[in-house]
Amino acid sequence: MSDETITVLTGDRPTGPLHLGHYAGSLAQRVEMQKGDGRIFIMVADSQAYTDNIGDTSKVSAAIPELVADYVACGLDVERCTIFLQSAVPELAELTQLFMNLTSVTRLQRNPTIRDEIKKRGFENSLPMGFLSYPVAQAADILGFRATHVPVGGDQLPMIELAVETASKINRLAGRAILPEPTVVLSRVERLPGVDGKAKASKSLGNAVFLSDSPAEVKRRVQMMFTDPDHLKVSDPGKVEGNVVFSYLDAFMTDRERLADMQAHYRRGGLGDGSVKKELVAVLEELLAPMRERRPDPVAGRDFCLQVLREGSVVARDVVAGVLSEVRAGLGVLTL
């Protein structure tokens, strides 16, 4: 990307270590995008994490510097990206408060991602207001930076849709284009399955390969991976579809020709699960070994990670404060 007007904003909730699903879904793209001329903002979404973790803030506190360590490990360059903490930019909360007046409760209740998450968290009978309205806050995160591109996984599409709607409402009310309508940047790999073959690799299900896993852990998780249950003998023809090992190879193997050969061989019969898993371990190690090298030490590097956030948050505040005053002026809100 060479267009100077590109502004990227994305982020993650600090609730636990990042895994290969995050990498394939969004982190790899961020690393790619930082090579261009655009501005890149990466947000540690602690305020969003509190919408369903307010009783467990120590978990979030521990995960905040660890998330920055994951970013650095992935190859995000703190000189090129502004990495900041959501709650350290109170202007975002102010923007959220204004945006709340532009969205109805029913509109939020219809959001498919929210509906899904409410069920998973058992919030049906007692839904925290903060949780229901986090998509509004997320619209503020995006529009507060005038982000043009938001690299996220597909489950975030309804959130971006709300941000687009909010931008257009503000622009209409203001009678001029104050905020650009953001576009989602989806990755080629939509959902990476869990090692158990379940629909999605997730922190909470514990079925993921983490970016911080040791070589022994990586190997163990690959050994656990679900393959084709009907592929009993090496000579049997096997299925590549729904075979977790092949899903991971498809997501991470750069030698596409070799992958196509392996798929054909497996389908035909004669290629054992052991060999395919061995190949996958090698492919993953190629990706993860440099991450281990770059990763700040969890103890000694903690201060560095917090300092990255402090400095990034100063820059972020400045940007959002500017947008906030333009939005206020656009809406005709009296400022003293």
Closest distance to ligand TRP from the beta carbon of 142 (Å): 5
Cβ nearer to ligand TRP, comparing 157 with 321: 157
Q: Report the distance separating Cα 290 and Cα 22, nearest Å.
A: 17
Cβ nearer to ligand TRP, comparing 186 with 281: 186
Residues 6+ apart with CB under 8 A from 200: 21, 191, 192, 193, 194
DSSP string, 104-155: -HHHHHT-HHHHHHHHHHT-SSS--HHHHTHHHHHHHHHHTTT-SEEE--GG
List 43's β-bridge partners, or say none.
11, 84
Largest Cα span, the chain = 78
Closest distance to ligand TRP from the beta carbon of 18 (Å): 10
Cβ nearer to ligand TRP, comparing 45 with 276: 45
Cα 8–Cα 330–Cα 145 angle in degrees, nearest 5: 15
Closest distance to ligand TRP from the beta carbon of 226 (Å): 25
Closest distance to ligand TRP from the beta carbon of 161 (Å): 12
Closest distance to ligand TRP from the beta carbon of 184 (Å): 9
List 181's β-bridge partners, or say none.
none
Q: Report the distance separating Cα 225 and Cα 237, nearest Å.
A: 18
Cβ nearer to ligand TRP, comparing 62 with 224: 62
For ligand TRP, the binding residues (CB under 6 A) are 9-13, 43, 45, 48, 138, 141-142, 150, 152, 156
Closest distance to ligand TRP from the beta carbon of 210 (Å): 16
Residue nearest to ligand TRP (CB): 45
Cβ nearer to ligand TRP, comparing 39 with 277: 39
Cβ nearer to ligand TRP, comparing 141 with 213: 141
Q: Residue 270 — left, alpha, or beta (φ > 0 → left; ψ -120 to 50 → alpha)?
A: left
Q: Name the residue type at position 125.
A: N
| Tokens matching residue 88 | 């350290």
